[in-house]
Structure 1
Amino acid sequence: MDGSWSEGVPAAVGGKRQQFGSRFLSDPARVFHHNAWDNVKWSEEQAAAAESRVQENSTQRVCQEKQVDYEINAHKYWNDFYKIHENRFFKDRHWLFTEFPELAPSQNQKDLLSENKRSEVPECRRSEDGPGLTTEQHGCSSDSLGGHKTQLPPVEENVTQTLSHLEICADEFPGASATYRILEVGCGVGNTVFPILQTNNDPRLFVYCCDFSSTAVELVQTNSAYDPSRCFAFVHDLCDEEKSYPVPGNSLDVIILIFVLSAIVPDKMQKAINRLSKLLKPGGVMLLRDYGRYDMAQLRFKKGQCLSENFYVRGDGTRVYFFTQDELDTLFTTAGLEKVQNLVDRRLQVNRGKQLTMYRVWIQCKYRKPVLSNTS
């Protein structure tokens, strides 16, 4: 995805300076002394120029016929993207542990989880989404999926294998015996999942990861670091209301959304977040990092690439939306979550070789499901 290779780390979290958020540009003459500067303030002129540029590149919209094609064939465009780039385009996101310590629980958290182990697995019940939970599962062979040895079919190109009417009970879903469960939606080739597994060796941790692209999921499953006893990768369409996740409601401690919500049609975002919210345990958190309004990537689009307001199509057919803090706050709070963090990371990145400057805008959010929730 455009810009994902250069994802940065916010300058401040919880009001405290973090490891990668302490570099400030006080002397413009020193701009090329480092490759990135934190918390860069925009002048009124720069902000006005960015707004003008967006208005200009939004005047000509993509025709409706092409818009339908980008929606219907979205999986094809993302599969092609991952076939081209595979593992070469991406960097592991080790900064996640600085910004989101929930991904590497402290000893105190682990002790608490151990004490509550018995009460955290929901009783056998049917899903609110239908007669039984269904999921697309590919290429995962595990000896520890809820205590049952399970052999699933490998990923085949352009073929989706679906297990339908699967009754999810306490001992029947992947990672059922875990006491700390993390789900990443839009996992790509595993640049979030594998650092988590490598950093957190707690045997009580289980990580789920899914992506819209079967090619991306296959790259995860064939990675030498993929361990089916600790991780379950599966194909899933975030916007498909007929397909359920392979876990019961109220079963996840953390859900991660890194540069993925921006890839779907804005009108479908709220229902997608609502569904994810139901999977969180009371007290569980949803973590997001995504493109902010007037990011360099938005300003670089040309006329004819705009699908709708602040929503664009790239040259490879993949799509991207650029958020404001208020928009994300509305999405999460409407889903019944409470704000813990919602900040903008304005970063100045520098290409010292070409003497170029690039202004990036990302938004980072953390929202928690209330302990006494009416949405569960």
Structure 2
Amino acid sequence: MPVDYEVNAHKYWNDFYKIHENGFFKDRHWLFTEFPELAPSHNPMTDLPLESQKHEEGRSREDGPGLTTEPHGHSCASHGHDTKVPPVEETVAQKLSHLAICGDEFPGSSATYRILEVGCGVGNTVFPVLQTNNNPNLFVYCCDFSATAIELVKTNSEYDPSRCFAFVHDLCDEDQSYPMPKDSLDVIVLIFVLSAIVPDKMQRAINRLSRLLKPGGVMLLRDYGRYDMAQLRFKKGQCLSGNFYVRGDGTRVYFFTQDELDALFTAAGLEKVQNLVDRRLQVNRGKQLTMYRVWIQCKYSKPLLPSANGEASTPHTT
């Protein structure tokens, strides 16, 4: 049965989005408080160095406040269809072909600040980012494992192909290329996504993503922590392996410790800016339930390029 959940993972997530469409997750406006890298006042579009802002933010928020509730996570995927652009598969292939020929042509190649969200679902992170950032130098990529989820993103009235590129992508497929070159992204966002894949595939997935970051770029993660209420409520027979479970709808979830995430990111060559646990008690008065939630929030940066004198220097953005 565990093999079935892996082989048919795309089916379970497509079914999830067919049932819930865009009504399950809420737009994550809290992200701008916890991850200033996504807000317009933070990034290089304001002529402020990313690295200096990132370390300043890391020092001031090391202990981090509690964050808002996030439901049932989702796996890596992208969204949909838009009449202004060709089908997803065709567009990715064309862009990658142009990249191979020209060396610098790819979606968003003219942007000076680039964000990728992996596991974007129906766009609950992407659309708040686009709505908040009006600067034309920003370009947002978003991908998801579920073609149904990507369809919902691209058919959203807020989807603008000149500012955003949504595509279907399997985070665990090592033969599948991303539509942007290495060292091209300022921010990569992973919100309740890494937990949805098989634990022994996590390291290679993070390694591939790390190569896409510019020196000084940052990877942002928020995911389930060990002994979260959701883990404690799983019944006998739902545990596939240590701390890795399957839900009733066939989707899967892993519950992390801080050390596990730190090991994944540092093994990928990234440096810790933030790694904290958010514990909170939630009360559902309607159902008279008390819920103990445990989440982990991380920020890890790619080391800066060494200069001629051996000191770190911030690279020039494209």
Normalising by structure 1, report the TM-score: 0.70
Deviation, structure 1 residue 166: 2.0
For residue 313 of structure 1, what is the aligned residue in structure 2?
246
Amino acid corresponding to residue 97 of structure 2 in structure 1: L
Choose the corresponding residue for 1:163, options 77, 93, 98.
Answer: 93
For 1:261, the equivalent position in structure 2 comes to 194
The Cα shift of 1:105 comes to: 3.3
Residues 8-33 of structure 1 show CA distances to partners (whole Å, capped at 9, x for unaligned) of: xxxxxxxxxxxxxxxxxxxxxxxxxx
1:162: how far off? 6.5
Instruction: State how 1:1-376 maps to structure 2 within 5 Å.
Output: 66-106=1-41, 109-112=44-47, 139-140=81-82, 151-153=85-87, 163=93, 166-168=97-99, 169=102, 171-372=104-305
Cα distance change of structure 1 residues 308 and 254 upon mapping to structure 2, 3 Å threshold: same
Instruction: Find the aligned partners of 1:215 and 1:108 in 2 and give their Cα distance.
Output: 31
Are the aligned partners of 2:113 and 2:139 in contact in 1 as well (CA < 8 Å)? yes
- Stretches of structure 2 lacking an aligned partner (at least 5 in a row): 50-77, 307-318
1:104 Cα deviation from its structure 2 partner: 1.0
Provide the aligned C-alpha RMSD in A: 2.1
Distance in 2, Cα, partners of 1:336 & 1:105? 27
User: Displacement of 1:111 after TM fit?
Assistant: 4.0
Identical-pair percentage: 81
Q: TM-score, normalised by structure 2?
A: 0.82
* Number of aligned residue pairs: 275
Larger Rg: 1
Instruction: Kindly indicate whether the alpha-carbon contact (under 8 Å) linking 2:187 and 2:217 is maintained by their aligned counterparts in 1.
Output: yes
Q: Is the 8 A contact 2:196 2:251 kept in 1?
A: yes
- Aligned equivalents of 2:46, 2:252: Cα separation in 1: 42
Shift of 1:163: 2.0
* Residue number in structure 1 paired with 2:61: none
Contact 2:88 / 2:167 at 8 angstroms: preserved in 1? Answer: no
Q: What one-letter code is carried by the residue in structure 2 that aligns with 1:312?
A: Y
Partner of 1:152, secondary structure, is: coil
Query: Which amino acid in the other structure matches residue 19 of structure 2?
Result: I
For residue 160 of structure 2, give the secondary structure of its aligned residue in structure 1: coil
- Whether the 8 Å contact between 1:239 and 1:272 is mirrored in structure 2 is yes
Report if the CA contact (8 A) 1:171-1:177 is conserved: no
Contiguous gaps of at least 5 residues in structure 1: 1-65, 115-135, 143-150
Q: Is the 8 A contact 2:79 2:154 kept in 1?
A: no
Do the aligned residues in 1 keep the contact of 2:79 with 2:146 (CA within 8 Å)? Answer: no
Distance in 1, matches of 2:263 and 2:43, equals 32
Distance 1:355 1:179 in 2: 49
Over 3 Å counting, the alpha-carbon distance change for 1:172 and 1:69 in structure 2 is same
Deviation by residue 1:244-269 (Cα, 9 ceiling, x = unmatched): 10001000000000000000000000
The answer to whether the 8 Å contact 1:141/1:228 transfers is no
Deviations 1:282-334 (A, max 9, x none): 00000000000000000000000110000000000000000000000000000
Q: Give the 3 Å change call, closer, same or farther, for CA 170–111 of structure 1 in structure 2.
A: farther
- Give the C-alpha shift of residue 108 in structure 1: 7.4
> What is the CA–CA distance in structure 2 between the aligned matches of 1:206 and 1:231, rounded to whole Å?
6
CA separation of 1:87 and 1:267: change in aligned 2, threshold 3 A: same
Using the TM superposition, give the Cα deviation of residue 353 of structure 1 relative to its aligned residue in structure 2, in angstroms: 2.3
Q: State the one-letter code of the partner of 1:163.
A: A
